[in-house]
Amino acid sequence: MAEIVIQGASPAVYGQSTRPPRGDYARGGQVNTDYTCPQNYAAYTAADHDIYRRLYERQSALLPGLACDEFITALPLLGVKTQIPRFEKINDRLYRATGWEVVAVPGLIPEVPFFTLLANRKFPVTDWIRRPDEFDYVVEPDIFHDLFGHVPLLFNPVFADHMQAYGAGGLKAHALGACEQLSRLYWYTIEFGLIQQKSGLRAYGAGILSSAGELAYAVKSSVPHRIALNLLRAMRTRYKIDSYQKTYFVIDSFQQLFDMTAPDFTPLYAALQRLTELPADVQAPGDVMASAVMA
């Protein structure tokens, strides 16, 4: 994934699309060098709170039978459902649980500041919310995607450790020029990952869990491929940022994800130099297809 370059209003490159970043990165000098900024709670309008309430209400009703157990258990720890939560209230609980805290950022930030925050157990949460006309889809992660999609699993100790390790790995990847490959792994796990649980196939990726349409599609549809997670396979596979995924990768547990990604990736990056990239919608030799979706 190309480095995100944010200089004032110049276009940001995020994934394959370039467009100006949504956030206000100047904020009258309130954005720190690590891209964090205060959550300006007073700036939220009644309409902003109402959009959050409606998104939370709709999405939480869709979760049973589709979201993983750990997510459903932790979701109430976000606190208030009828208005945008105060980050410091979430942090009171989150820091005690796993040493993580959420920090406000104006939107997408460059990869090194992003990885640095994760490596320090700080999850960057965009502090603005989508407009009413973007209710079903917002092109850039907003506060609902980040809070509802990403934060509940940070209460899970194993997943929380994986997220910190991912941040540390991201800084190493940046030094090796391998951010593109590593961002595919992020995409196919932390954003769009599936997990095989006793009760059946479930979603753990934030991009799925925060999407009204993709949640049932990812877990139940017969259209996409579902492949047991293999690091090289995931890091070879291009992805689409503005449509449902054609391929999902499946893990057996968060411990498996943590164990698989713990070793140093340098040999993997070397191996990837000799492997072709794969389109998002193909099956490849060696793919272990995930077991059939249980009814």
Q: Mind telling me the catalytic residues?
A: 145, 150, 191, 210
Q: Cα separation of 272 and 128, whole Å? A: 37
Binding span for ligand HBI by CB under 6 A among 104-112, 196-204, 255-263, 277-285: 104-112
User: 87-98 and 157-176 helices cross at what angle (nearest 10)?
Assistant: 100
3-class state of residue 46 by DSSP: helix
Annotate 63-77 with b (16+ C-beta within 10 A) or e (fewer): beebbbebbbebbee
Q: How far is the CB of 105 from ligand HBI (least distance, A)?
A: 5
Site string for ligand HBI, 129-158 (x = CB under 6 A): ------------x-----------------
Query: Does 124 contact ligand HBI by CB under 6 A?
Result: yes
Binding span for ligand HBI by CB under 6 A among 5-13, 54-62, 101-109, 238-246: 101-109
**108 and 4 in contact (C-beta within 8 Å)?**
yes
Which residues, at least 6 apart from 115, have a Cβ–Cβ distance to it below 8 Å?
166, 167, 168, 169, 170, 171, 173, 174
Residue nearest to Fe ion (CB): 206
- What's the sign of the alpha-carbon dihedral 169, 174, 176, 178? positive
Which of residues 70 and 142 has its CB atom nearest to ligand HBI in the complex?
Answer: 142
Site string for ligand HBI, 219-258 (x = CB under 6 A): ----------------------------------------
Which of residues 101 and 201 has its CB atom nearest to ligand HBI in the complex?
Answer: 101
Query: Does 186 contact ligand HBI by CB under 6 A?
Result: yes
- Taking only Cα atoms into account, the Rg of the chain, rounded to an integer number of angstroms, comes to 18
Q: Cα separation of 162 and 257, whole Å? A: 8
For residue 114, the partner it binds in ligand HBI, Fe ion, none, with Cβ less than 5 to 8 A by kind, is ligand HBI
With CB under 6 A as the contact rule, the residue among 108, 143, 203, 215 that binds ligand HBI is: 108
Nearest alpha-carbon partner for 237 in 285, 289, 188, 286: 188
Give residues in contact with Fe ion (CB under 5 A): 141, 206
Residues at the interface with ligand HBI (CB under 6 A)? 1, 4, 105, 108-109, 111, 114, 124, 126, 141, 170, 183, 186
